[in-house]
Amino acid sequence: MSTEYLSFHHLSKTFQKDPVLKDISATLERGHILGFLGPSGAGKTTTIKILTGQLRPSSGEAYVLGKHCQDIDESIYEQIGIVTDESGVYERLSVYDNLKYFARLLNVPLSNIPTLLNRIGLYEHRKKAAAKLSKGQTQRLILARAILHRPRVLFLDEPTSGLDPATSMEIHKMLLELKDAGMAIFLTTHNMEEAAKLCDNVALLNEGIIVEYGNPKDICLRHNIHKRYRVRLHDGSIHELAQSEESARAIANWLAQDQIETIHSCEPTLETVFLSATGRSLS
């Protein structure tokens, strides 16, 4: 059985006369996370909508679990989970009753709910009305709903947008556990640190074009043209050195005199790669 759970080839989308996606291609394997990274308006949500059958592409092909995205039906919806801004929860229902409602819809045993509530850190809030949850708790409830039926592919549109760092970290931990369990995760984000930490591959999207695609570390190393090192000495001074014989001699001298506190190579980050590829910032 193929481990390629999602793929799209030469996808384009034009709204009226406005081209929003321009010939983009990528793939996502079982147990991998693919990050779509780009500034506001780059076309990230449009891509998710096409991949989940909510929008038709103007041209190109997309497949989810082997099915053409224009033929997505219930059999595929049972195997995918979607978290977007519009993933509403029933505000007047309790946390538990929200999950119970969706468990019934999705034919999921109710006995799965307590374990999921524990895992997502909402067990103690299970009787609280969804309207009374904090933003982070609501986001966790939406995520719980999306993974209730253990989908094989999970789509997440800005899963940690507006959340505090602690809640974001909890969500990251959960996503890595889901990935380890074999789920394929497609996520969009503005946050390059999030992408670098979570994603096996990223696509840097700018004005509908993928300007870089691949493993985040490989991308940064590929752009490490001006190899530089940052050395901090015990006296507190910091020296940034280009790779050269002269720098090698200076470092060797400091080493011999036991003066070096730390030494780091200075590869570019995804943010700086994006900036140099597009002339604009991700945030």
Q: Least separation, in Å, of the C-beta of 191 and ligand ATP?
A: 11
172-180's contacts with Cβ under 8 Å and 24+ in sequence apart are 172/197, 172/198, 174/119, 174/120, 174/143, 175/33, 178/147, 178/154, 179/31, 179/32, 179/33, 180/31
Binding-site size for ligand ATP (CB under 6 A) equals 10
Indicate the residue type of 78: E
Alpha-carbon distance of 181 to 222, in angstroms, equals 30
Closest to ligand ATP by CB, 43 or 53: 43
Q: Least separation, in Å, of the C-beta of 15 and ligand ATP?
A: 3
**Residue 280, φ and ψ in degrees, nearest 5:** -135, 160
Whether the CB-CB separation of 262 and 232 falls below 8 Å is answered with: yes
Site for ligand ATP in 80-109 (CB under 6 A): none
Q: Least separation, in Å, of the C-beta of 86 and ligand ATP?
A: 12
Closest to ligand ATP by CB, 113 or 194: 194
Site for ligand ATP in 4-63 (CB under 6 A): 15, 20, 38, 40-46
Closest to ligand ATP by CB, 47 or 98: 47
Q: Least separation, in Å, of the C-beta of 72 and ligand ATP?
A: 18
CB count within 10 Å of CB 33 equals: 24
Tell me which residues touch ligand ATP (CB under 6 A). Answer: 15, 20, 38, 40-46
